[in-house]
Amino acid sequence: MLYLLLAIVSSMLVSVTMRLSEGRTRNSISMLAMNYLMCTALSACFAGTADFFPAQEGIGFAALLGVISGALYLGSFMLLQWNIRVNGVVLPATFMKLGVLVPTIMAIVVFREVPRAAQIAGMLLAVLAIVLVQSEKGTGRAKNAAGLVILLLGGGLTDATSKIYEEMGTPALENHFLLYTFAVALLLCALLARAKGQGLSKGDAAFGLLIGVPNYFSARFLLLSLSSVPAVAAYPTYSVGTIVLITLVGVLLFRERISRRQALALLMILAALALLNL
């Protein structure tokens, strides 16, 4: 459970750092590339070897899943950006968070994890709370519903790669799996920034590197948590726990105000967390 709590805190710090970067950066893709550069560097440090492809059983699977995961990382970000342009902010944010359903259902159907009745109730309550906390009057209807569904699947599959590796990969190569994931994301992101002609300002570099630290540890701690916490509880807890912390930080640090609907949703989230961990 400690690793899961650390993953939630790290995920919250990613959002807080991104909030602090507003108005101080110029190029979102370049900043994202610097984020992946830091993630790659930290992955290499924790891998503890100068050999990028050690001669060890399971390295092929780690590399293959890492390539897929890295492409999904960047693809989900691009899908989110596109959906925000087409469907506004609220709906894409909601569907991105609802992506937690993908690894949760995968854990039940594919890896035969059987949730208890309380955990099923917690998952349903968490889904309702996520929809409620993101919904306000005037959000309008989706202009491209298919794009939102693809975003949900893409974000969910990105998270699901951690569970797939935990079940099928070699534990000793977990750090190499993360190394390949972030190295591929870095390469693709750098190519995209070059294709779009985006430069790199000091703010882009500074905040990108800062975001990369909690971003790496959120992925690392989530992966570690799956060895002791069932995925049917870990993924929903990770998602809704992050929402709670981000909201609390927004209120306390950035003096944001929450509506009655959002306050009700947070109470539902707290109840869902309790049910998920019974």
For 180, the token pair is: 């390949």
What is the pTM for the complete model shown? 0.87
Give the end-to-end CA distance of the chain in Å, rounded to a whole number: 13
Q: How many domains does the chain have?
A: 1
Domain-located, residue 52: no
Is residue 62 within 8 A of residue 177, CB to CB? The reply is yes
Mean pLDDT across the stretch 149-176?
Answer: 92
256 — pLDDT class (breaks 50, 70, 90): confident
What string of H, E and C letters represents the secondary structure of 153-209? HHHHHHHHHHHHHHHHCCHHHHHHHHHHHHHHHHHHHHHHHHHCCCCCCHHHHHHHH
Domain-located, residue 200: yes
Domain-located, residue 51: no
Is residue 50 within 8 A of residue 5, CB to CB? The reply is no
Handedness of CA 31, 7, 148, 146 (dihedral sign): positive
Mean pLDDT across the stretch 191-218?
Answer: 93
Output helix, strand, coil percentages for the chain, rounded to the nearest 5.
80, 0, 20
DSSP letter (8 states) at residue 27: -
- Spatial neighbors of 65 by CB under 8 A, at least 6 apart, are 161, 164, 165, 169, 177, 180
Q: How far apart are CA 244 and CA 5, in angstroms?
A: 12
Q: Containing H/E element for 142?
A: none
Domain-located, residue 182: yes
pLDDT given at position 44: 93
pLDDT given at position 60: 95
pLDDT given at position 215: 94
Q: How far apart are CA 41 and CA 258, in angstroms?
A: 38
Q: How far apart are CA 111 and CA 67, in angstroms?
A: 22
Q: How far apart are CA 67 and CA 21, in angstroms?
A: 29
Residue-range definition of the domain harbouring residue 255: 2-45+58-276
Q: How far apart are CA 217 and CA 62, in angstroms?
A: 18
pLDDT given at position 134: 62
Domain-located, residue 50: no
- Planar angle of CA 6, 233, 47, nearest 5 degrees: 45
pLDDT given at position 59: 94
Mean pLDDT across the stretch 87-110?
Answer: 82
User: Is the confidence at residue 188, as pLDDT, over 70?
Assistant: yes
Q: How far apart are CA 127 and CA 274, in angstroms?
A: 14
Q: How far apart are CA 149 and CA 151, in angstroms?
A: 5
- Planar angle of CA 244, 72, 163, nearest 5 degrees: 65
- Planar angle of CA 40, 43, 45, nearest 5 degrees: 110
- Each residue's pLDDT tens digit, 3-58: 999 999 999 999 889 888 888 888 889 999 999 999 999 999 998 766 788 878 99
